[in-house]
Amino acid sequence: MDGEGLNTGWEAEGPELELELDSEDNGHREGEQKLEFRLAEGTRLDVGVTDRVGKSRSFIQGLIGEGHVLVNGAARKANYKVRAMDEITVVIPPPRELKVEAENIPLEILYEDEDVLVVNKPQGMVVHPAPGAWTKTLVNALLFHCRNLSGINGVLRPGIVHRIDKDTSGLLVVAKNDLAHQGLAEQIKAHSMARRYLAIVHGALFEPSGTVEAPIGRDPADRKKMAVVFQNAKEAVTHYEVLERYRDFTLLEARLETGRTHQIRVHMAYLKHPVLGDPLYGPRKNSFGLPGQMLHAQLLGFRHPRSGEYMEFSAPASGLFQKVLEEIRRAD
């Protein structure tokens, strides 16, 4: 989420987790599957293979990235458009045990006790392991720092109650035990956890403040994206306030009432003011050469799950965020 993903729906899992793979042996190395087929001309490779194989799209994209999906014997990108008579070969590796390794990665920890930990995540760091990012995640760093994390979300997401995107920086609260996890998750579900973001968006927003109340679901035209849609969607509410207005950009504060995947990014794009540096919902290129969106989770407030005391934390935006903002100010 831009924030924003609430992780309360997974069942607790044991110490080992297998990928969603069939273990049937088709004559290759033990447990490996090899599938060969053709797809309709014009079909996007990852979409067509997902439909044919029956796995999740993210799983198939992981296979494509690792060279396990070939077109006429050659690797292609996920967005490759299939041509007539293309031969598709998919090799599904055997199931493997997934273990998240502790890694000595520095963390900026603002607060820690026996129940919770508040960390300021840098831009570019993935929160938890997933296909394409099994190492150097926040979870890998957390496991090196403290091994007693809640197990409610399973082996890949220990302690993770909510997420922010890889290229969004800022504050996250981590649960060190199941009691803390349940207490924090209940606050997110009740919309009582305070979460405020700084964002630089394209264009001059003339209204001093406003509320975007528009449901969010998967973009029917691109399953990697979210969009404001009115079928198969969830309620999404974002409040914003303009802090500084320039000719071509606006600095604003966004307050999440709900926490949907990419919520702030989607809602700002819906207003025709996408977040600067966001290649998914805004211009693919930007004049600043940014590696990701200028979005920072600057404030986080919650009641301590054991004591009930209200706690609030803030963290300034990264040096890159501040540098870009200074350039915008000078140019205006």
List residues with catalytic annotation. 165
Pairing type for strands 209-213 and 69-71 reads unpaired
Give the Cα separation of 298 and 304 in Å (integer): 19
Q: How far does the chain reach from its first CA to its final CA, in angstroms?
A: 31
Exposure pattern of 238-267 as b/e (b: 16+ CB <10 Å)?
Answer: bebebeeeeeebbbbbbbbebbbbbbbbbb
Backbone phi, then psi, for 224, in 5-degree steps?
-80, -15
**What six digits make up the tokens of 149?**
């994390």
Pairing type for strands 88-92 and 33-37 reads antiparallel
Q: Amino acid letter at 70?
A: L
Angle at 174 (CA atoms; ends 155, 106), nearest 5 degrees? 90
Q: How many C-beta atoms surround the C-beta of residue 121 within 10 A?
A: 25
Count of helices and strands (H, E) across the chain: 6, 19
Give the Cα separation of 100 and 153 in Å (integer): 13
**What six digits make up the tokens of 193?**
């956890």
Positive or negative, the CA dihedral 5, 8, 10, 13 is positive
DSSP codes joined into one string, 155-216: TTSTTBSEE--TT-EEEEEEESSHHHHHHHHHHHHTT-SEEEEEEEEES---SSEEEEE--E
**What six digits make up the tokens of 211?**
């509320």
The candidate with the shortest Cα–Cα distance to 128, out of 116, 140, 117, is 140
With beta carbons less than 8 A apart as the criterion, state whether 33 and 66 touch: no
The candidate with the shortest Cα–Cα distance to 240, out of 193, 185, 279, 295, is 295
